[in-house]
Amino acid sequence: MKRSKPKLISLLLLSLLSCCFLFAPHLLCFFSPPSPSLLDFPVKVSERLDVHGNTDLIKRSTVASREGIWCDRTGYRTDICFMKGDIRTRSPSSSILLYNSQDRSDGFSNHVSYGKIKPYTRKWETAIMDTIRELKLERRDAKKLGDEHTCDVHHDVPAVVFSTGGYTGNVYHEFNDGIIPLYITSQRFAKRVVFVISEYHKWWELKYGDVISQLSAYPLVDFDRDKRTHCFKEAIVGLRIHDELTVNPSLMQHNKTIMDFRNLLDKAYRPRINRLVAEEETRFSAEPAKDRKAVSRRMQRPRLALLSRKGSRGIKNEETLVKMAKRIGFQVQVLRPRRSTELAKLYKELNSSDVLVGVHGAAMTHFLFMRPGSVFVQIIPLGTDWAAETYYGEPARKLGLDYIGYKILPTESSLYRKYEKDDPILRDPDSINNKGWQFTKTIYLDDQQVNLELRRFRKVLLDAYSKSVS
Asked whether residue 127 carries a pLDDT value surpassing 60, the answer given is yes
In this prediction, residue 48 carries a pLDDT of: 32
Averaged over 34-47, what is the pLDDT? 35
- On whether both 273 and 200 belong to a single domain, the answer is no
Asked whether residue 60 carries a pLDDT value surpassing 50, the answer given is no
Specify the amino acid at residue 262: R
- On whether both 75 and 146 belong to a single domain, the answer is yes
Confidence label for 425 from pLDDT (cuts 50, 70 and 90): very high
- On whether both 212 and 270 belong to a single domain, the answer is no
Out of 57-61, 339-343, 426-430, 432-436, pick the least confident. 57-61
Residue 3 lies in a domain: no
- On whether both 265 and 251 belong to a single domain, the answer is no
Averaged over 308-316, what is the pLDDT? 95
- On whether both 276 and 238 belong to a single domain, the answer is no
Count the domains in the chain.
2
Task: Report the alpha-carbon distance of residue 246 to residue 242 in Å, rounded.
Answer: 7
- On whether both 190 and 267 belong to a single domain, the answer is no
Burial 139-168 (b: 16+ CB within 10 A, else e): bbeeeeeeeebeeeeebeebbbbbbbbbbb
Distance of CA 405 to the CA centre of its chain: 23
Residue 282 lies in a domain: yes
In this prediction, residue 464 carries a pLDDT of: 98
Distance of CA 117 to the CA centre of its chain: 19
Residue 160 lies in a domain: yes
Q: Which domain covers residue 462, as residue numbers?
A: 261-469
Q: What percent of the chain has pLDDT over 90?
A: 72
Asked whether residue 320 carries a pLDDT value surpassing 60, the answer given is yes
Asked whether residue 172 carries a pLDDT value surpassing 60, the answer given is yes
User: 285-309: per-residue pLDDT in tens?
Assistant: 777 766 545 555 566 799 999 999 9
In this prediction, residue 10 carries a pLDDT of: 52
Paired residues of 239 in beta bridges: none
Average pLDDT, the chain: 85
- On whether both 292 and 430 belong to a single domain, the answer is yes
Q: Are 260 and 247 in contact (CB under 8 A)?
A: yes
Averaged over 129-145, what is the pLDDT? 88
pTM (predicted TM-score): 0.83
Averaged over 408-422, what is the pLDDT? 97
- On whether both 171 and 270 belong to a single domain, the answer is no
| Domain end position, chosen among 221, 255, 289 | 255
Averaged over 82-91, what is the pLDDT? 94
Q: Is 400 exposed, middle or buried (0-12, 13-18, 19+ CB in 10 A)?
A: middle
Query: What spatial distance separates the first Cα and last Cα of the chain, rounded to whole Å?
Result: 79
Burial 48-64 (b: 16+ CB within 10 A, else e): eebeeebbbbbeeeeeb
Residue 286 lies in a domain: yes
Closest listed residue to residue 387, CA positions, set 176, 129, 77: 176
| Domain end position, chosen among 255, 280, 296 | 255
Task: Report the alpha-carbon distance of residue 461 to residue 325 in Å, rounded.
Answer: 7
In this prediction, residue 29 carries a pLDDT of: 26
Residues constituting the chain = 470
Task: Report the alpha-carbon distance of residue 277 to residue 44 in Å, rounded.
Answer: 46
Q: Is the peptide bond before 181 cis (omega within 30 degrees of 0)?
A: no
Tell me the CA distances in angstroms from 384 to 109, 255, 431, 436, one per residue in order: 45, 33, 12, 13
Q: Are 32 and 73 in contact (CB under 8 A)?
A: no
- On whether both 416 and 345 belong to a single domain, the answer is yes
- On whether both 334 and 242 belong to a single domain, the answer is no
In this prediction, residue 24 carries a pLDDT of: 38
Closest listed residue to residue 59, CA positions, set 252, 243, 319: 252
Cα torsion for 61, 62, 65, 70, to the nearest 10°?
A: -30
In this prediction, residue 281 carries a pLDDT of: 80
Can you give the CATH number for the domain in which 320 is found?
3.40.50
Closest listed residue to residue 39, CA positions, set 73, 22, 16, 64: 64
Asked whether residue 65 carries a pLDDT value surpassing 60, the answer given is no
Asked whether residue 49 carries a pLDDT value surpassing 60, the answer given is no
Task: Report the alpha-carbon distance of residue 315 to residue 363 in Å, rounded.
Answer: 14
Q: Are 432 and 383 in contact (CB under 8 A)?
A: yes
Residue 383 lies in a domain: yes
- On whether both 279 and 157 belong to a single domain, the answer is no
| Domain end position, chosen among 202, 228, 255 | 255
Averaged over 258-267, what is the pLDDT? 97
In this prediction, residue 59 carries a pLDDT of: 34
Asked whether residue 115 carries a pLDDT value surpassing 70, the answer given is yes
Asked whether residue 194 carries a pLDDT value surpassing 80, the answer given is yes
Residue 20 lies in a domain: no
List CB contacts of 462: < 8 A, sequence separation 6 or more: 328
In this prediction, residue 147 carries a pLDDT of: 60
Task: Report the alpha-carbon distance of residue 75 to residue 57 in Å, rounded.
Answer: 13
Asked whether residue 45 carries a pLDDT value surpassing 80, the answer given is no
In this prediction, residue 140 carries a pLDDT of: 85
Residue 464 lies in a domain: yes
In this prediction, residue 219 carries a pLDDT of: 97
For β-strands 331-335 and 303-307, DSSP reports them as parallel
In this prediction, residue 267 carries a pLDDT of: 97
In this prediction, residue 432 carries a pLDDT of: 97
- On whether both 199 and 110 belong to a single domain, the answer is yes
Residue 31 lies in a domain: no
In this prediction, residue 283 carries a pLDDT of: 77
In this prediction, residue 160 carries a pLDDT of: 98
Averaged over 242-257, what is the pLDDT? 96
Kindly report the three-state secondary structure assignment for every residue of 234-286: EEEECCCCCECCECCHHHCHHHCCHHHHHHHHHHHHHHHHHHHHHHHHHHHHC
User: 332-387: per-residue pLDDT in tens?
Assistant: 999 999 888 999 999 999 999 999 999 999 999 999 999 999 999 999 999 999 99
In this prediction, residue 67 carries a pLDDT of: 83
